[in-house]
Amino acid sequence: MFTGLVSDVGEVLSVEERGGLKRLRVACAYDPATIQLGASIAHNGVCMTVVDFGPRGQGAWYDIDAAAETLAVTTAGQWRVGTKLNLERALKIGDELGGHLVSGHVDGVAKLRARKDFDGMAHFDIEAPHALAKFIAEKGSVALDGASLTINKVDGDAFTILLIPHTLAVTIWGARKAGDDINIEVDVMARYAARLSEAK
């Protein structure tokens, strides 16, 4: 589990095709002594497993495997050498839950329709996949590229978010632009509420 609070911005160092999967090497600022084989790290919201790692400068490098399903339903298939990724380590018992509970299981890919910058902040207009739109509610939470964000307004399949200067500075959102694909994970509470409603 994760909280949607990005703890580092990593960079893809290499991408290796291995049949039905891709092996990616990621550079990060994490202390290599704190990384373990089999550890879960969210990459733009996608929970992936560390399969190898080592020190790199003041930080570390580690390898992850992206399987065919991950490549098909997330933006992982678009990641190239130099791609920047929002990173988050798995939640530990006792950690502060400052965002909302995020599983790291991306539901689909949304589209960034427009961006408007003002006063150091940025207003984003996002279009959700139609099947996920029913889980999007004003003042609710959503994980976009792994960041826990609050929904401002909803209009059909589209919704808006507002990012403060800090979030723009410490995540990949500062470089996001119209036309970008965005990994989306809807709030698990919204999913269960909808399922219960359907069951009735």
Active site residues: 2, 40, 47, 49, 67, 105, 150
- Of 167, 143, 163, 168, the residue nearest 46 (C-alpha): 143
For residues 101 and 136, what is the distance between their CA atoms, to the nearest angstrom?
A: 15
For residues 194 and 61, what is the distance between their CA atoms, to the nearest angstrom?
A: 40
Listed in sequence order, the residues at least 6 apart from 60 whose beta carbon sits closer than 8 Å to its beta carbon are 27, 28, 29, 30, 31, 32, 35, 53, 54
Count Cβ neighbours within 10 Å for each residue of 189-200 and write b for 16 or more, e otherwise: ebbeeeeeeeee
Query: Does residue 170 come out as left (phi exceeding 0), alpha (psi in the -120 to 50 range) or beta?
Result: alpha
